[in-house]
Amino acid sequence: MARPGRPAMPKPVLSPFVDSFLDMLTSEKGAAMNTRHAYWRDLADVSLYLRDQCKTDVDRATPDDLRAYLRDLGQKVHTKGTRKATIAVRTVARRLSALRQFYRYLVSENVRKDDPTSAIESPKQGRTLPKTLAEIEVGSLIKTAATQGGPESVRLVCLLEMLYATGLRVSELVGLPMSAIGDGSEFLMVAGKGGRERMVPLTESAQKALSAYLAVRGQFVSLEDKSRQAQWLFPSRTSDSGHLTRQRFAQLLKDLARAAGLDSDRVSPHILRHAFATHLLSNGADLRAVQKMLGHADIATTQIYTHIVGDKLRKTVSEAHPLGKTGTDL
């Protein structure tokens, strides 16, 4: 979005092969619109650099052109041992991953005979565990939201309860249609990545929060544009989509965290998704069940949460167990 008083910057015109690649992601692989936008941003950044610095376009780039781009990208944040450096490594890895998929597509379509990324090594990344919140912190967020009063408060409690009860991706949560609510509001039918549909149960507290919210939901629907908003569980009068946006929900969480006395940098919809998974596993839930509720295609993605639970258990033993304190062997 452009700043007030400034015209919106026009989108760069990219190679037509970028458009056909993005169309393939959507039509053949079922990529969500957010995924498509992310690939577009990555390929646009590469394209603009190559045009300016290498006088070529992304579909004609050589391995040396791409190495120059990745080197420049990595040097933008070069201070070792800082969080920014970690972010830089992840960014380079993500851009390279997007390029690999793009060039594989070009080879499969006989646009190119070679994949210029095949000789480029991915940057080494240390294992970064997902950030999460303690159960008492999640409870504090819900309690604080409930004390604010009014329909906005009721909606926010519902959003929190449903997110913590289901572990939905934020785009899945805010984009829920009314038809997603199952019989008796006991579960949700969620259309996830790649068009995969899954059934996710709701806890009793989430069901109560949903019931309370449905009683005030009409106050978020504009009578002038009711048809566009009525299909969504969380409608919005101001968004182009007709439903609450990811960005607005994230901002509401930041404000709520500050009101609850928590560090707002530690609170986001995705961190609540992490909390859902780690708290389930730490209380004995089956890994496969958590995988299904999160909508992970590969259980290896879910297994990273076991490292958090493992660290927690080791810490508990070392601090609370008598043998953990003395180091006595049996």
Pair (187, 296) in one structural domain: yes
Based on the structure, what is the number of domains in the chain?
2
Q: Among candidates 186, 196, 175, 43, which has minimal Cα distance to 117?
A: 43
Q: What is the pTM of this model?
A: 0.61
Domain that holds residue 62: 16-108
Confirm whether 270 is a catalytic residue. yes
Rounded Cα distance between 18 and 21, Å, is: 5
Residue bearing tokens 């609510």: 181
Confirm whether 321 is a catalytic residue. no
Pair (208, 167) in one structural domain: yes
Confirm whether 296 is a catalytic residue. yes
Angle, to 10 degrees, between the axis of helix 246-259 and the axis of helix 269-282?
Answer: 70
Confirm whether 124 is a catalytic residue. no
Local confidence band at 29 (pLDDT 50, 70, 90 cut-offs)? confident
265 found inside a domain:
yes
Pair (104, 140) in one structural domain: no
Rounded Cα distance between 132 and 114, Å, is: 42
Confirm whether 305 is a catalytic residue. yes
Pair (166, 268) in one structural domain: yes
Please check whether residue 119 is in contact with residue 63, taking contact to mean a CB–CB distance below 8 angstroms. Answer: yes
Confirm whether 307 is a catalytic residue. no
Can you tell me the mean pLDDT for 98-103? 95
Pair (230, 298) in one structural domain: yes
Pair (56, 198) in one structural domain: no
Pair (151, 287) in one structural domain: yes
Predicted confidence (pLDDT) per residue in 239-270, tens digit: 888 899 999 999 999 999 999 999 998 999 98
Pair (287, 181) in one structural domain: yes
Name the catalytic one among 39, 49, 164, 305: 305
Name the catalytic one among 67, 198, 248, 296: 296
% of the chain beyond a pLDDT of 70: 80
